Amino acid sequence: MSFQRSSDLEAQPTTWRREDDPQYADDPEFRDFAQQLSDKLFALTRNVARLSEQIALLGTKRETARVRERVHEIIDDTSSSLKEIGEGLKKITTWPDVGPSQKFTQAKLNREFKATLTEFQQLQRQAIEKEKASASAARAALQDQTSPTEERSGFEQQQEQEVLRLANQEEVDFQESLIIERESEIRNIEQSVGELNELFRDVAHMVHEQGEQLDIISENIEVTHDASRGAHTNLVQANRYQKNARSKACILLIILAIVLTIILLAVFVD
């Protein structure tokens, strides 16, 4: 290797920046859109945490109509957010001309969304199970309340039953309407589960594709790393060779100077 070639190698930069990667592209629009999705996912996880707290109250003494109302409100709100974010993920996953760092961002968002969606679906199923159990218990209690009692004494018993029937009919009708409303809400949750199942399949497919792409990216990064490491090794060797060559040249010059001095002394002495 010539001294000029060694000097050229030595002059090359030894630090690598992301901006030096030809595959890297700083796309402000992609970055902003990804940040928006990330913020929405964060809000979504908070909603899921709130839902978990409210569902834990179902079937306990702390269950109230307001608790059930909050459960349904959070489920509706979260379902809408999931659908919106899902559409955003489809858009960012098919973003054109993305580099390795952007592909990692795509995969990260998809994984986080899938995890949140899975947790939400599990909470939906818990809510359905608890709501069904509560509605069944309420209907059974209502049937017991309205079922006829055994006869005690003819006319007197009939009068008592009629008074009780008139007094309780309004309450019975009210409880019946509440049970019907709860059963309707359960069907709405079940319908939401079905809709989100399709979204879950789409996201799972995207995550799978992103996983394959990430494997390829990782392999390419490893190859690039090996190539960079090899280039660095060559540069170090070239630098060492250049230093050795300089040392040898200096020694040779010293020897030549000594020989020349001896010759000159010999000539002048003669």
**Residue 65 maps to which CATH number?**
1.20.58.70
| Cβ-contact 75, 192 below 8 angstroms | yes
The better pLDDT of the pair 184, 128 is held by 128
pLDDT score for 251? 79
**Domain assignment of residue 100, yes or no:** yes
Do the domain assignments include residue 259? no
Nearest of 94, 120, 102 to residue 199 by alpha carbon:
120
Rounded to 5°, angle at Cα 5 from 4 and 6: 90
- The pLDDT score that the predictor gives to residue 220 is 47
Domain contains 45:
yes
Residue 48 inside a domain? The answer is: yes
Structural domain count of the chain:
1
Most confident of 89-103, 124-138, 183-197, 204-218: 89-103
Residue 177 near residue 126 (C-beta atoms within 8 A): no
Residue 194 near residue 77 (C-beta atoms within 8 A):
no
Q: Report residue 194 as tokens.
A: 């079905």
∠ at Cα 255 (253, 259), nearest 5°?
A: 115
Q: Which residues are CB-contacts of 127 (< 8 A; sequence separation ≥ 6)?
A: 51, 55, 58, 71, 75, 189
SS3 of 59-110: CCCCCCHHHHHHHHHHHHHHHHHHHHHHHHHHHHHCCCCCCHHHHHHHHHHH
Q: How far apart are the first and last CA of the chain?
A: 45
pLDDT, one tens digit per residue, over 113-169 is: 999 999 999 999 999 998 888 878 777 776 666 555 555 455 556 666 665 565 566
For residue 45, pLDDT over 70 is answered with yes
Domain, as residue range, for 122 = 17-233
**DSSP letters of 1-27?**
--HHHHHHHHHS-----GGG-TT----
* Global pTM value: 0.59
Other residues' Cβ atoms within 10 Å of the Cβ of residue 235: 15
Q: Name the amino acid, one letter, at 256.
A: L
Residue 182 lies in a domain: yes
Does 1 reside within a domain? no
Helical ranges in the chain per DSSP H: 3-11, 28-55, 65-93, 100-146, 154-269
**Residue 244 within any structural domain of the chain:** no
Q: What is the pLDDT of residue 168?
A: 65
The 8 Å CB, 24+ separation contacts for 19-23 are: 21/99, 21/100, 23/99, 23/100
Q: Determine contact, residues 160/89, Cβ cutoff 8 Å.
A: no
Rounded CA gap, 82 and 74, in Å? Answer: 12
The average pLDDT across 18-31 equals 65
What does the pLDDT read at residue 260? 72
* 248 inside domain: no
For the cut 50, the answer to whether the pLDDT of residue 16 exceeds it is no
Contacts of residue 63, defined as CB under 8 A and 6 or more positions apart, other chains included, come to 57, 134
Average pLDDT over residues 94-115: 92
pLDDT for 46 beyond 80: yes
pLDDT of residue 82: 92
Could you read off the pLDDT of 55-80 as tens digits, one per residue? Answer: 999 988 898 989 999 999 999 999 99
Distance CA 205, CA 218 (A): 20
Task: Say whether pLDDT at 102 is over 80.
Answer: yes
Residue in 179, 174, 171 with CA at minimum distance from that of residue 134: 179
